[in-house]
Structure 1
């Protein structure tokens, strides 16, 4: 059993690492990709956003909010990640959990994790280090996990 799991994530990509001992190196266990978060709204949903006329004049503009679609996709990915973390905790695969993720994803994960899994969180860092190597990620964590 690993002493700690480290989840490194953003809205569309996550990597899960484990540390066998408190001061040990990180070893990647799993990588997860959520391509839907990188798609345009019209690629995800068959209906495009509505259009509206300006209140004065003859101009028209779109009514959709592309940022909202991105946030919804990030929430769905956070739900998948939460299930993975909960299953690992239930199987006794780790004692402590560290989350290194972009701030929006940290918030999404907090909302999706059940309370027993949330209780295993030993630290959080609001940075997007998904493309970083294990040594750089490890440097963002406490010396003793």
Structure 2
């Protein structure tokens, strides 16, 4: 038996834009169900926001997201989680880094680290902190 863990990101009105952005970086298919689609509109201004969404790519990347309704509390928080993307090659990780870095704040530039041949951390334009690295001997 095996399980799969998928990162689920919560937004306040930015879920569709974030999912479209992640698809542009990692590829894959985008699926979105709005509150209107699900017949679950409680606030008319939020009808076209994302009730359920995901990007799933053949390379194994998958992320889910939704827009927290205004009737529920939501706060982005600070350092509440990181999304970690581990790859086998510098070329693969560098391409993802370049895609995510548009409008991002670099926390640690992409470069060698004691535990990985290539490692970097950034906060993307949606406030999500990403850690990208090439799997080193410790990660195997």
Task: State TM-score, norm by structure 2.
Answer: 0.28
- Which of the two has greater helix per residue? 1
Whose relative contact order is higher, 1 or 2, with alpha carbons under 8 Å and at least 6 apart? 1
Larger radius of gyration: 1
Task: State TM-score, norm by structure 1.
Answer: 0.27
